[in-house]
Amino acid sequence: MSTDVFCKIVKGELKSEAVYKDDDFWVIKDINPQAPVHLLIIPVRHFLKIEDFAGDGILLGKALLLADKMAHEHGLDRGYRLIINEGDHGGKLVPHFHIHLLGGKRLGPKLVKE
């Protein structure tokens, strides 16, 4: 059983500001927002990375569709950015698959300084 922060959040063991919940996904506000809208799409089941969805590609597709729906529900009709950080070089901090949804202003070419 995983004890990462997102597992704790979906188990109700840690508080979060959730804006959407269903049986498969929670969408929460990032605790350290990098844009006016910064949401995290988090699967309820513990997946570490994209390859863990190999037997369940439909769920991964649902995550993308949900991100798009959330973007429109949060007024990001002028566009948004999705980010998936993977591994050390990708800057992944929380070992539980998640998609960052960012928007609400014109985003620069990069969000993270080198």
- Residues marked active site are found at 98
Cβ 32 to ligand AMP shortest distance, Å: 4
Strand partners, 50: none
What is the spatial distance between Cα 40 and Cα 28, in angstroms, rounded to a whole number? 5
Examine residue 41 and tell whether it contacts ligand AMP (CB under 6 A).
no
Q: Which is nearer to ligand AMP, 58 or 86 (CB)?
A: 86
State the CB neighbour count (10 A cutoff) for residue 105. 10
Examine residue 31 and tell whether it contacts ligand AMP (CB under 6 A).
yes
Please select the residue that binds ligand AMP; options are 10, 16, 39, 97, rule is CB under 6 A.
16
Residue 81 DSSP label: E
64 phi, psi to nearest 5 deg: -65, -45
The site for ligand AMP (CB under 6 A) is made up of: 5, 14, 16, 28, 30-32, 40, 85, 91-94
